[in-house]
């Protein structure tokens, strides 16, 4: 068989440039499939400029304006009685809405990924409803239902129960806006995990609760925590729906976003940016937590099932 032209034919072929055509062909392919250096620099520069103008500079300006008149005035603004009331109400709302969404998210994702039933597609669609409906509209829904002129307004007033322009309305609106987040994070995680280990546990005699707490929950813990973090951030920063149902009563029904708006409309810019800086800090912490936990969700290994452990637990 005759030697291939340009191939190395002897001990001195490499030195004589026998591999040079192959190297040149490889270099040509690399140049054809790679972007020019100027194009890479241009794309990176545009992306960095966009982030700087629309993200980094605004975030920096929030903290700069908050501390513009000194640290003393900053702490005075965030320790004002009305500010503390807004902070407490925001934390209370999140403390109620997030656990409710946690329970719903676990139940909905468990049902969707583990069972076949009528209305499954409808349930999946309804979970995404808050993404399609404006938060202001969702707040109006609760006003039409529980307001003084709403469907249940007369009955609620007769029994001296206040929902709209009170804390229950704020919690309801926040829960509605944030309930997809936990479920939407858990559904793909549970689908990827499969059901083999759970079926094995049930075959070995484990009950449904034992299977859930010892097999399912450990497998989805990082996805669950990821969804809770996103849900909490949205609950604390919700503005539209809460603005409709709160009534903007100072010191009573103002959450932190609503209080920031009131201060800004009163031209109290330093206090407004001071309270806003707390929400900005929460957003930055959320981004870091999402980055860390998101990597664990992506790369976490599924836990193995111990047959002996399941048998002991079932016994």
| Rounded CA separation 141/120 (Å) | 25
Where along the chain do the CATH 1.10.3720.10 domains lie?
70-304
pLDDT digits (tens, 9 = 90+) for 75-121: 999 999 999 999 999 999 999 999 999 999 999 998 998 888 888 89
Concatenate the DSSP letters of all residues of 270-313 into one string.
HHHHHHHHHHHHHHHHHHHHHHHHHHHHHHPPPPPP-HHHHHHH
pLDDT computed for residue 214 by the predictor: 87
267: left (phi over 0), alpha (psi -120 to 50) or beta: left
For the four alpha carbons of 116, 120, 123 and 125, in that order, the dihedral sign comes to positive
- Longest CA span, the chain: 103
Q: What is the mean pLDDT of residues 28-50?
A: 78
What kind of fold does domain 70-304 have according to CATH? MetI-like fold (1.10.3720)
pLDDT computed for residue 31 by the predictor: 59
pLDDT digits (tens, 9 = 90+) for 55-87: 889 888 999 999 988 899 999 999 999 999 999
- Kindly tell me if the per-residue pLDDT of 297 is higher than 80: no
| Rounded CA separation 310/296 (Å) | 26
Concatenate the DSSP letters of all residues of 37-74 into one string.
HHHHHHHHHHHHHHHIIIIIHHHHHHHHHHTTT-HHHH
- Kindly tell me if the per-residue pLDDT of 2 is higher than 80: no
pLDDT digits (tens, 9 = 90+) for 197-212: 888 888 888 888 888 8
Q: Mean pLDDT across the chain, nearest whole number?
A: 83
pLDDT confidence tier of residue 228, bands split at 50, 70 and 90? very high
């Amino acid at each position: 068989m005759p030697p291939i032209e340009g191939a190395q034919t002897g001990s001195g072929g490499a030195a004589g440039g026998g591999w040079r055509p192959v190297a040149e062909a490889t270099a040509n392919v690399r140049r054809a499939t790679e972007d020019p250096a100027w194009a890479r620099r241009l794309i990176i520069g545009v992306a960095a400029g966009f982030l700087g103008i629309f993200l980094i500079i605004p975030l920096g300006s929030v903290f700069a304006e908050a501390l513009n008149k000194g640290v003393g005035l900053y702490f005075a603004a965030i320790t004002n009685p009305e500010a503390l009331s807004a902070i407490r109400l925001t934390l209370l709302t999140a403390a109620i809405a997030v656990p409710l969404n946690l329970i719903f998210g676990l139940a909905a994702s468990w049902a969707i990924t583990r069972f076949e039933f009528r209305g499954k597609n409808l349930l999946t669609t309804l979970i995404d409803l808050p993404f399609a409906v404006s938060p202001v509209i969702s707040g109006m829904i609760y006003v039409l239902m529980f307001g003084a002129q709403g469907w249940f307004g007369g009955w609620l007033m007769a029994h001296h129960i206040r929902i709209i322009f009170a804390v229950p309305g704020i919690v309801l609106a926040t829960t509605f806006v944030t309930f997809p987040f936990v479920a939407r994070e858990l559904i793909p995680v549970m689908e990827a995990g499969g059901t083999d280990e759970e079926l094995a546990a049930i075959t070995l005699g484990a009950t449904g609760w034992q299977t859930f707490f010892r097999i399912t929950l450990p497998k989805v813990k990082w996805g669950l925590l990821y969804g809770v973090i996103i849900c909490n951030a949205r609950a604390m920063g919700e503005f539209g729906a809460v603005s409709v149902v709160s009534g903007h009563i100072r010191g009573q029904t103002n959450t932190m976003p609503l209080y920031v708006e009131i201060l800004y409309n009163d031209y109290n810019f330093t206090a407004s940016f001071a309270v806003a800086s707390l929400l900005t800090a929460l957003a930055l912490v959320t981004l870091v937590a999402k980055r860390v936990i998101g990597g664990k969700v992506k790369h976490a290994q599924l836990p193995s099932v111990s047959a002996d452990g399941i048998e002991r637990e079932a016994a």
